[in-house]
Chains A and B, each alone.
Chain A
Amino acid sequence: MAGSTLEFREIVEAHQARVYSIAYRILGDRGTAEEVAQDVFLELYRAISGIASDEHLTAWLRRVAVHRATDALRRRPRALYGAAEFGDWMTKLSHEAASFALASDVEKLLLTLPPTQRTVILLRYQEDLLPPEIAEVLAMPLATVKSHLQRALKSLRARAQDALKEYTRRG
C-alpha cells in the first residue's frame, strides 16, 4: 500500500468514531450515517493539502460531518401538504419511530430533539465544545446557540427521568 494511503488510513481510523457518531446521532439511521461518514473522509482526501495541523483536522472533520449529516436530513423525501394531508403527514412521522430500535436510551432521547438542538447537544457533550466554539462550527449567533442548548437540556430533563434513575442506580 502506498505510503500516503497508509497515512490516510491511519487518519480515518483515528477519527472514524467521531465522524460516524456525529452522523449517526444527527440522522438516527445507521445506513445513511455510514454513507455520510464515508463521504466526509472522501472529501477530506480531496482537501487534505489544505489541512495545517491536527487541531485543524479535528475542527474540519467535525464541521463537515455536522453539515453533511444535516444536508442528508434535509434531503429526506418531502411530504405533500394541504388540508387533507395533515393527517398523512402525521402518519409519515410515525414511520420514523423505527429508527429508535437500535439506539441507546440517550441516543433515542437525542432523536426526539429538533435537529439543531440535537447538533448543539452533540457538539457540547460528545465533542466537549463551549458555546462560542459551537457558534463558530454552526455559523450561528452565540445567543441562539445558548437558547438551543437551554431548551434542549430542558426537554431532555423532562424526558430523561427513567434514564437518570437507571444511571444513578448503576452509579
Chain B
Amino acid sequence: MDEHEELERLLHRELQARDAPPGFSARVIAKLPQAPQPAPLQTAHRVWLPGLRWTAAAVALMAIAGGGYWEHQRRERIAGERARGQVILALHISAVTLHDVLHKVVKDTKGDAE
C-alpha cells in the first residue's frame, strides 16, 4: 500500500463521526419553541412544484423576449464566477504559504532551543 492510500485509510478510519456529548438531544428538545408543532415530513414539495412550474414558464417567456440581454448577463455571470474562483484560490494559496513559513519558523525556533 503506498503512502497516499495509507493516508486515505487513516483519514476514513479516524474521521468516522464522533458521538455528540451526552444529553445533547435532550438539550436541543428543551430549546424548541412550545408551539406550533412542526408539520410532518414529505408534504412541502408537492405544494411547491406547481408554483415552480408557473415561475419557470414566466422565466422562459422573459428569456425569449430579452434574449440578448440575458445572454450578456449569462456571460458576465460566468466570467464573474471564474474571477471569484481565482480570488478564492489566490487568497487560499497566500494563506497556506504564510502558514507554512510560520510553521518553519516555529520548527527552527524549537530546534534552536533544544
Contact = CB atoms under 8 A, between A and B. Distances in A.
Q: So, do A and B actually touch in the complex, CB under 8 Å?
A: yes
A8 B85 contact: no
B110 interface: no
B38 A122 contact: no
Contacts of B85: 140-141, 143-144
The SS class assigned to the B binding surface is helix
Contacts of B33: 45
Contact of A114 (B15, B20, B29, B95): B95
Interface string B6-19: 11111111111111
Interface residues of A, number: 62
Interface residues of B, number: 48
A137 interface: no
Nearest to A18: B17
Contacts, number: 142
A37 B37 contact: no
A17 B44 CA distance: 27
Interface in A105-126: 105-107, 110, 112, 114, 116-117, 121-122, 124-126
Interface of B: 3-4, 6-21, 24-25, 27-29, 31-33, 37-45, 48, 81-82, 85, 88-89, 92, 95-96, 99-100, 102-103
